[in-house]
Structure 1
Amino acid sequence: MNQHIAIKAGTIWNNNDDVEVLTFSLAGETFAIEAVKVQEILDLLPETSVPGSLPFVGSVINFRGKVIPLADIRLAFGMEAGEKTIDSRIVVIELPLGDERTLIGIRTDRVFEVTTFSKSASEAPPSVGMRWRADYIDCLIKRENQFVILPNLAAIFSNHNSQSATGPSHG
């Protein structure tokens, strides 16, 4: 399984030594998404609940006239759902899921910055002692005295999409 994770973690770098990312907070943890996947950062928008959907993608929003799923990836990682605050934001990303590129909104507690991480500071997630599914993490980045988590969004959304007929498949 570690070999599979190493292959997945390597794809974020695309043979580069650095990657530009957007950092954000979820439940006190710092996460990062590749900046090239980010379409826009939005203030919170009105949400419409989707009956019968998984709580992970339990609502949709209107983004530039398109209805897109709004995900709370805290739930995918087994965290408690977060309270919306004045600092909460929606990060709209575009992911290749199946044969199409899909727009998805991700609710965050706070967006920090766009920064660059070095491949030399990255590590695959440990196979023992993680409280989250290792296949949901692309890699961990050492930054000062903390770790930044780069989630494997394709694995998270592909897994949840295959578990639900009402998953994020229309974009």
Structure 2
Amino acid sequence: MSMSKLKSEQTLTVVTLTLGRQTLAIPTRFLREILDPLPVTRVPGAGSQVPGVVNVRGSVVPLADLGQALAIPDVGQDDRRRFLVLDVEVAGEAATVAVAADAVHEVTTIDTQTIEPVPAAAIAWPPEFLSGLYRGTEGFVLLPDLGQIFSNLANRPQAVPL
């Protein structure tokens, strides 16, 4: 989602989550549900950004690793780990995707005027995968561009069986 689209509304309701030591905010309009960890079925030949699939109420849903896409180092898992099931648009098509979070914090509403563009220089995160960021109580909160991330993952070459 572009910065101009974010700022076209006065407020944005988001769910905040932690990946590694970084806090992210995902607009609640994408959120279908939050689940306790599920068994992950690894997919042979799958890359590290979409390592497997999970069974969500009888549907096979790809599990994407936002930490990999955003270059956020993994710091291990604990009992706060959750899966967020998201309804997003990938390359113009509706899709359901799950993402793992080290912790889910709260649903909050932010003033879109506090959202800033991602600085082009001197940052560790891929700016093409971020819509913006804002200052939260614990530091900067990233707003990932889910459409851009998942479209990029969908366009990656698939593993070719030998």
Q: Which amino acid aligns with 1:59?
A: G
Q: Give the aligned partner of residue 105 of structure 1.
A: 98
Assess if the C-alpha contact under 8 Å between 2:19 and 2:72 holds in 1. no
For the pair 1:90 / 2:92, whether they are aligned, the reply is no
Q: Give the aligned partner of residue 65 of structure 2.
A: 72
* 1:86-165 mapped onto 2 (5 Å cutoff): 86-144=79-137, 146-165=139-158
Structure 1 window deviating more from structure 2 (92-101 vs 29-38): it is 92-101
In 1: Cα distance, 2:141 partner to 2:157 partner? 29
For the pair 1:19 / 2:15, whether they are aligned, the reply is no
What is the CA-CA distance between 1:145 and the residue it aligns to?
5.7
In 1: Cα distance, 2:27 partner to 2:76 partner? 25
Gap runs ≥5 in structure 1: 1-6, 167-171
In 1: Cα distance, 2:75 partner to 2:97 partner? 18
Give the root-mean-square deviation of aligned CA atoms: 1.6
What is the CA-CA distance between 1:9 and the residue it aligns to?
1.9
Q: Secondary structure at the match of 2:49?
A: helix
Identity of aligned residues (%): 31
In 2: Cα distance, 1:81 partner to 1:143 partner? 21
Q: Secondary structure at the match of 1:160?
A: helix
Gap runs ≥5 in structure 2: none
**TM-score in terms of structure 1 length:** 0.87
What is the CA-CA distance between 1:10 and the residue it aligns to?
2.2
Q: Secondary structure at the match of 1:123?
A: coil
In 1: Cα distance, 2:58 partner to 2:6 partner? 30
Q: Give the aligned partner of residue 10 of structure 1.
A: 4
Inter-CA distance 81–144: structure 2 relative to 1 (3 Å threshold): closer
In 2: Cα distance, 1:77 partner to 1:9 partner? 18
**TM-score in terms of structure 2 length:** 0.92
What is the CA-CA distance between 1:82 and the residue it aligns to?
4.7
